[in-house]
């Protein structure tokens, strides 16, 4: 697959601080790429460099096959972005804010532009807000409006920095479904976040930034692939250990880890021994476990849940 975002040895220094320290990003066409890291790890600085908002100290950046920031005027109209929270005119309505934003775009008839504004407001769940000024919006509504602005030009690449900030669980679910639908229709999504549970449900590939360094970059399916063991839930873990001589690797309460990647075979042995089994599944590492292994204790600021 062709690279949509590629960086080589990307560095950003602020005095003696290396906020971004030689990273090589590889985001491919069709990815939903989760860019993970604790607060202060360098995620937002990286995103701002990708969009030409901050100049790198050294290294190279390509977005949609062109060098940035040199090709920004040609590339950025094909990119939708929501970075560090949306900025709006509070006294104007959401529709009026989007009309101002759209006025800086490539044009089109007034009727066509109004239709597109109505379309993106509906997409993000703001179709019924009418003339209400943005200053009366909740934080979650403002975040949705920012996402609507990013979608106005039907971007090939969507770059989002914490897009679910301020949303309740239902709102997070709705934005997740929207991003998946956009991806299904051809939009590559680059999503900077610290919410591991959300990224695990949404993303196809992830990169993990730790103190400015890219410590992991891999497909989600590989990171969370089965380990070759089976998880058994049982009220009698000691009996499981006795019945499966030498195959039990750990016991945590009623959760028993057994060597072997055939849960049906494990179940057959246990039921045959008269042991009650209340749950059975292949063991898979969670994204939280993977990130902790890659980035160590600095991920204590990366949230495993909403």
DSSP run (H or E) holding 143: helix 139-151
DSSP string for residues in 6-50: EEEEEEEEETTEEEEEEE--EEETT-EEEEE--TTSSHHHHHHHH
Using alpha carbons, select from 275, 129, 295, 259 the residue that is nearest to residue 267. 275
DSSP string for residues in 123-136: HTT-TT-TT-BGGG
pLDDT at 56: 97
Q: Which residue has the tokens 């104007």?
A: 92
Q: Confirm if 131 and 121 have CB atoms less than 8 A apart.
A: no
User: Do you know the residue count of the chain?
Assistant: 306
Q: Could you tell me the two tokens for 252?
A: 């945590």
Residue 282 CA to residue 295 CA, distance in Å, equals 25
pTM, whole model, 2 decimals? 0.85
Vertex 49 angle, CA 44 and 51, to 5°: 100
pLDDT at 193: 86
pLDDT at 105: 56
* Angle between helical axes of 139-151 and 110-123 (0-180°, round to 10): 130
- pLDDT digits (tens), the chain, 306 positions: 689 999 999 999 999 999 999 999 999 999 999 999 888 899 999 999 999 999 999 999 999 999 999 999 999 999 999 987 677 889 999 999 998 887 655 556 778 888 999 999 999 989 888 789 999 998 888 888 999 999 998 999 999 988 888 788 888 888 899 999 999 999 999 999 888 888 999 999 999 999 999 999 999 999 999 999 999 999 999 999 999 988 999 999 999 999 999 999 999 999 999 999 999 999 999 999 999 888 875 444 444 443
Parallel/antiparallel/unpaired status of strands 79-82 and 66-67:
unpaired
Count of CB atoms situated within 10 Å of the CB of 67: 12
- What are the structural domains, with CATH classification, of the chain? 3-223 (3.40.50.300), 229-282 (3.30.70)
Q: Which residues of 226-235 are buried (b: 16+ CB within 10 A; e: fewer)?
A: eeebbbbebe
Residue 35 CA to residue 47 CA, distance in Å, equals 9
For residue 192, report the phi and psi dihedrals to the nearest 5 degrees. -90, 125
């Amino acid at each position: 697959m062709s690279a949509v975002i590629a960086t080589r040895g990307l560095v950003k220094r602020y005095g003696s601080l290396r906020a971004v320290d030689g990273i090589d990003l590889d985001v491919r066409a069709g990815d939903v790429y989760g860019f993970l890291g604790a607060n202060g790890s360098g995620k937002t600085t990286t995103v701002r460099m990708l969009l030409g908002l901050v100049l790198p100290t050294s290294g190279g950046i390509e977005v949609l096959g062109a060098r940035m920031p040199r090709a920004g005027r040609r590339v950025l109209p094909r990119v939708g972005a929501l970075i560090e929270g949306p900025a709006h005119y509070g006294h104007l309505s959401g529709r009026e804010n989007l009309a101002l934003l759209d006025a800086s775009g490539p044009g089109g008839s007034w009727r066509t532009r109004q239709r597109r504004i109505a379309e993106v407001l509906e997409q993000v769940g703001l179709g019924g807000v009418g003339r209400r000024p943005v200053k009366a919006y909740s934080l979650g509504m403002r975040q949705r409006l920012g996402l609507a602005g990013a979608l106005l030009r039907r971007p090939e690449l969507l770059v989002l920095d914490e897009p679910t900030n301020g949303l309740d669980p239902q709102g997070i679910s709705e934005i997740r479904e929207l991003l998946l639908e956009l991806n299904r229709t051809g939009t590559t999504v680059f999503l900077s976040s610290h919410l591991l549970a959300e990224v695990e449900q949404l993303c196809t590939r992830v990169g993990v930034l730790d103190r400015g360094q890219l410590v992991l970059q891999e497909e989600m399916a590989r990171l969370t692939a089965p380990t070759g063991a089976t998880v058994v839930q049982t009220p009698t873990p000691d009996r499981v250990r006795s019945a499966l001589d030498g195959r039990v690797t750990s016991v945590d309460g009623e959760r028993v880890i057994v060597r072997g990647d055939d849960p049906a075979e494990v179940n057959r042995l246990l039921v045959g021994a008269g042991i009650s089994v209340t749950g059975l599944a292949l063991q898979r590492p969670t994204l939280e476990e993977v990130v902790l292994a890659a980035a160590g204790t600095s991920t204590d600021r990366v949230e495993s849940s909403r």
